[in-house]
Amino acid sequence: MKTRIFFKVITIVFAGTVFTACNGNEVEQDMDEWCDCQQKAKNDAAHHEVCVDLMLQISRKYEFDPEAVETIQEKALECK
């Protein structure tokens, strides 16, 4: 009985770790897309609104993930 519980806990922890790692990669990809958008907006003022909408989507998508929020803040500062 204890062995089954132990394996269930290990499985849940492992799955959570994998999910977090995948999620972190997805956040970085989303922020890379936003940064590319920002670079294009420097030369095209009309493109600025697209970038604002993209950031709103990213913010909503990760609003309950503190690690993702930290990554978003770091990537936003890096993108200049």
Residue by residue, DSSP assigns 18-67 as HHHHHHHHHHHHHHHHHHHHHHHHHH-GGGHHHHHHHHHHHHHHHTT-HH
| Domain membership of residue 58 as a residue range | 2-78
- pLDDT tens readout for residues 28-75: 999 999 999 999 999 888 889 999 999 999 999 999 999 999 999 999
**What is the number of domains present in the chain?**
1
Q: What is the mean pLDDT of residues 13-29?
A: 61
Residue 8 has pLDDT above 70, yes or no: no
Predicted pLDDT at 23: 64
Higher pLDDT pick, 46 / 24: 46
- CA–CA separation, 40 and 49 (whole Å): 11
pTM of the predicted model as reported, rounded to 2 decimal places:
0.69
